Structure 1
Amino acid sequence: MATARPAQPAAAPSAPRQGVAALPVRNRGLLTLGVMLATIMQILDTTIANVALPHMQTSLGATADTVTWVLTSYIVASAIAIPITGWLSDAIGSRNLFLISTVGFIIASALCGMAQNLEQMVAFRILQGISAAFMNPLSQTVMLDINPPERQAKAMSIWGMGIMVGPIMGPVLGGWLTDNFNWRWVFYVNLPLGVICIAILWWLLPSRPVRKRRFDLFGFSLLALGISALQLMLDRGQGEDWLGSTEIWVEMLVAGIALWMFTVHMATGKNPMFERDLWKNRNLVTAIFFMLVIGVVMMATMALLPPMLQTLYGHSVFDTGMLLMPRGVGVILTMAISAQLTQRGVDARWVVGIGMALAAYSLWQMTHWSLEMGTWPIIVSGFVQGLGMGLVFMPLNGMAFATLPPHQRTEGSSLMNLSRNIGASVGISVVTTILARSIQASHAALAPNISAANLDTMDPNLLQMLGGSGETVLAMANAEINRQAMMIGYLNDFWAMMIVTALSVPLVVFLKRPKGPAANPDPAAAGH
């Protein structure tokens, strides 16, 4: 009879050797399934609620500005909790932390589905985000630990598909659930998946050894305070008139001071939150910067497109999800290709550079959208963006982790996930602000050009003769101005994201091609 104990005793992971995993297990395939279920389940929740936001807004009594807290509260909570993953994993054991966080995630998902107002939803999403924070780094570490060096590239490509496809498939699943049931099922769907996941992890998941070390409470407090103040400033800035508000000045100063003190503490403190050797790893630090951009491009785009497609183009929730699905197809194609390329000795730096260039090109395509276009430009640009993201993710992770010793994997993964979450939360807030300000400015510029006196399609006196009907015509004209102003706002967002993505391409020169088996794994070994 199967017991609920780890498959192997928890020995300290040693330096990787060919054909030997750091933590061997009895059934690697089934454990991989359980780990990937956890990964996909928690990453889906970063975007599965996107397409349901209009429905949540009505049900929870939120406004268009405040309903985005459903997204950002989850991401920010994850960003704050991620840095302590390494310490918690050492303190209570990686197996225990993975199981506790998965159970917490399932409970929080059920509570989100039962939320009756925005305050409850945000509170439960924070709980869900904290639980999810530990699942991502731990899942990546497990995938590396249970595979020998020659299989790690394939393991990272499998893990990367879940990370990249999850946010893209989220709107499809969310749209189908919302159309056929209601928005609450975008959270309830985690329950059956979670039960299966917990059963597999309980049976097979091994554990790294417990390693007592001092918790850097001061450093963690500074980082949490800095991230929270930064996000609060970005979320409330538009409504409070930015630097015209004392509140925004206070939040900006708190964020700047806290993050600066955290940086100094990391450089000079006796027991910093992250080992200082991590910051000497050039590949890891460069990958962290790339993850910031990936967070902005992927998550901000996925936050913008659902309301745009539903509001401006009139697509249903499910159709919106289907229009976003080509991104997932592109990711799957090029992630498999990138794995093959790196296995055959192609310099991964070229693969990453081409991928980021493709992502920038897809955003350039989106800057040429118009209100009169069909669905084809949406499909093509999404597919191209997926191609680019798929080329970037696996080689980037491979280069970062090939140069890290096994005992630093959890903290390295935490840093990369933290940077992606910060990029996502900051990106969503910034593009939302750009959109709101662009709509205001564009409406103010367009409205004076439309009046009863200069409507070319009718006699200038006709509107006055029509009385109330004339007011209706002007109201219709104003609605069209709003549509045009909103479209200009979205295009400005696409321009901004394109520039950020294009400027990140030269960062590939800072990546160093790793040496050894992790750099060029044996294709034969990786294929069985």
Structure 2
Amino acid sequence: MVQNEEDDLIEYGYRRIIITITCVLCAMLEIVDTTIVNVALNNMRGSLGATLTDVAWVITAYAIANVIVIPMTSWLSQQFGRRNYFATSIVIFTLASFLCGNATNIWELVAFRFIQGLGGGALLVTAQTIITESYPVAKRGMAQAIYGMGVIVGPTLGPPLGGYIVDHFSWPFIFYINIPLGIIATFLTIAFVKSPKYGTKLKANQVDWWGIIFLSSFIGSLQFVLEHGQQDDWFNNGWIVILSTVSIFGLLLFIWRELTYEHPIVNLKVFKDNNLKIGTIMCFILGFGLYGSTFIIPIYTQSVLGWSATDAGLLLIPSSITTGIMMPFIGKMIQRGIPQAYMVALGFFMFFLFTFLMRGVLTPDTGVEHMFWPLILRGVGLGLLFVPITTLSLSTLKGKHIGEGAAFTGMMRQLGGSFGIAIITTYLSRFNQEHRVNLISHLDKTSFEVQQTVQKLQMGFMSKGYSANEALAKAYKVLEYKVMTQSSVLSFMDIFMYLGLLFLFCIPFILLIKKGKNKINPADAMH
């Protein structure tokens, strides 16, 4: 019976092409919107009269809504029908984009970004499922590869696209570009997407409202703590302490509720599967590396090398294209039965090599040519990790448990990214302070080399017409700037080293994975 229903959802010819384009478009819209605002924050601050802390909420609100809705998506699409839920999510996302562009103050914008995130989180997971079910089993590997390209290229496309729009138009247009695409996607969804008939609708009094509240308080508080911890001085701040406590109790109550309630909103019993346990940890580390490196490289190029936002965004595109090109080959390798564990181990090692090489090329004037090949290695590593990790996680699950497990892998990837960015930001500033203190302690004013350097700089400024005292003051400022730049570079080198060691450390854990049905569809996997 279930098999017949699955066969009913398979599409052929132009219908399948339209559904694939619609789903990839929606997934890319959601992912691009996660990163596109990063380069527009300064312009938003200026026009909305907000502080840097206030404007950071534009990113935080979207991320919190995203992570809250992802685990509930499988349940929500069963309650309302997949097509209806998907179309409604696109409408919410599109309408919220219009409202974001028209916001008159920062808190209006934050509220509309939260609503946009609720619509967007649903797009990512539901688009995945619709593509999976629209293809016959033999062709799902290729469908997955097409979807995977959109998912990987999306985060990289955001910053250069955002930079171009902000430079040539104004920040509301980064939201307005979603409107025509959203309208087209809504009509195509209503016209072409089918809903599966499985799934039992619950009455209002059976809905797991407490589960929703506990999940929202746990994830919402955790996401806030991660995004604002560093700038608010972590546990020296009252709000961070309160929200950390809320997050811990929210998690404990959520686990208790889901294990004891008859109609849980998230089925935690799938975690009895050993592969899913290990796979979700790996998804967390993958998110850590993917979002962490996407975050750290533009910061280095902009703060140390002085690049523009657009140039910093463009630097990552070859790496993403490499991952995109690899996707079809990875799909074929999995279908031919090559063990995913080997691919994942190789992917982790490639990522370690990328961080090792990046650490070696960092200087105050590193060029594009120095970073090109390490970033290509990053692309190869991500290609070997993205689909195989998720298929490994789900390889011993069956039926609707695959969808439930996939929601966890998606959520853990997002949370891994949030943890990665929070930890990198914290340690970047701590390492920076340490290196600065160490460098200054070696700058002895009585040292002959230091005196010679200062004298050369002073003579240079005096030759431009400055008085001896002015030239001396400027010489010391140049020296201080060099110390700051050098301590920044050393901090980035440390971050790359620890990131690489994390990936190297993961390789032995892959050996704990049981051999599942090796030819599982990559398509069943990548929520």
TM-score normalized with structure 2 length:
0.87
**CA shift at 1:62, angstroms?**
5.0
Q: How many angstroms does 1:479 deviate by?
A: 2.7
Gaps of 5+ in 1: 1-12, 522-528
Q: CA 1:360/1:112 → structure 2, altered by over 3 Å: closer, same or farther?
A: farther
C-alpha separation in 2, matches of 1:70 and 1:238? 17
SS in 1 for 2:34: coil
| Offset at residue 97 of structure 1 (A) | 0.8
Q: CA separation of 1:16/1:65 partners in 2, compared to 1, >3 Å: closer, same or farther?
A: farther
- Residues 297 and 497, structure 1, Cα contact 8 Å, conserved in 2: yes
Partner of 1:79: 67
Q: Which amino acid is 2:318 matched to?
A: P
**TM-fit CA distance, 1:325:** 0.7
Larger fraction in helix: 2
Give 1:383's match in structure 2, choosing from 376, 381, 391.
Answer: 376
Deviation at 1:383, TM superposition (A): 1.2
Q: Give the equivalent residue in structure 2 for 1:202.
A: 190
> 1:320 matched to which residue of 2?
312
Aligned length: 507
Give the corresponding residue for 2:476: 474
1:423 counterpart (405, 416, 435): 416
Q: 2:142 aligns with which of 139, 149, 154?
A: 154
In structure 2, the residue matched to 1:23 is 9
Structure 1 distance, partners of 2:54, 2:438, is 27
Deviation of 1:381 (Å): 1.8
Q: Which residues of 2 match residues 360-375 of structure 1 at below 5 A? A: 360-368=352-360, 369-375=362-368
State the partner residue of 1:248: 240
C-alpha distance in 2, partners of 1:119/1:443? 37
Instruction: State whether structure 2 residue 490 is matched by structure 1 residue 501.
Output: no
Deviations 1:356-403 (A, max 9, x none): 221222122222212132212322222111111111122233344554
Report what 1:168 is aligned to: 156
For each residue in 1:306-346, what CA deviation from the matched residue of structure 2 results, as whole angstroms up to 9, or x when unmatched?
23212221222322222111111220232122112122221
**Cα distance, 1:148–1:280 mapped onto 2, change above 3 Å:** farther
Q: Aligned letter for 1:509?
A: L
Q: Which moves more between the two structures, 215-224 or 417-426? A: 215-224
- State TM-score, norm by structure 1: 0.87
Distance 1:448 1:59 in 2: 43
**Structure-2 residue corresponding to 1:3:** none
Question: Are residues 362 and 182 of structure 1, via their aligned partners in 2, closer, same or farther at CA, if it must alter by over 3 Å?
Answer: farther
Q: Distance in 1 between matches of 2:177 and 2:145?
A: 25
CA contact (8 A) 2:302 2:309 kept: yes
- Residue 398 of structure 1 aligns with which residue? 391
Contact 2:275 2:395 survives alignment (8 Å): no
Which stretch shifts more, 320-329 or 474-483? 474-483
1:22–1:147 CA contact under 8 A, matched in 2: no
Contact 1:333 1:387 in 2 (8 A): no
| Most deviating of 375-384 and 67-76 | 67-76
State the match for 2:462 in structure 1. none
Residues 1:255 and 1:301: Cα distance change in structure 2 (over 3 Å): same
* Distance apart, 1:460 and its partner CA: 10
2:303 is aligned to 311
Q: Say which of 461, 475, 486 aligns to 2:488.
A: 486
- 2:99 corresponds to which of 107, 111, 117: 111
Q: Secondary structure at the match of 1:272?
A: coil
Q: CA deviation at 1:117?
A: 4.5
Which range moves more in the overlay, 110-119 or 120-129? 110-119
1:48 aligns with 2:57: no
Contact 2:226 2:418 in 1 (8 A): no
Task: Report the more deviating stretch, 241-250 or 327-336.
Answer: 241-250
Shift, 1:38, TM fit: 0.6
> Does the 8 A contact of 1:398 with 1:519 survive in 2?
yes
CA distance in 1, matches of 2:397, 2:278: 13
Q: Which residue of 2 aligns with 1:355?
A: 347
2: CA distance, partners of 1:226 / 1:74: 16
* Contact 1:310–1:316 (Cα < 8 Å) also in 2: yes
Deviation, 1:220, is 2.4
Which one-letter code corresponds to 1:21 in the other structure? D
Percent identity over the alignment is 29
Matched, 1:284 2:276: yes
Deviation at 1:510, TM superposition (A): 3.6
Asked whether the equivalents of residues 50 and 302 of structure 1 are also in contact (C-alpha less than 8 Å), the reply is no
RMSD: 2.9
Give 5+ residue unaligned stretches, structure 2.
460-465
Alignment match of 1:296 (pick from 285, 288, 293): 288
1:344 aligns with 2:331: no
Q: Give the direction of change, closer, same or farther, for the CA distance of 1:196–1:24 in structure 2 (3 Å limit).
A: same
Residue in structure 2 matched with residue 36 of structure 1 by the alignment: 24
CA distance in 2, matches of 1:429, 1:82: 21
Residues 96 and 519 (structure 1), Cα distance of their counterparts in 2 relative to 1, 3 Å cut: closer
Shift of residue 40, structure 1, vs aligned partner: 1.1
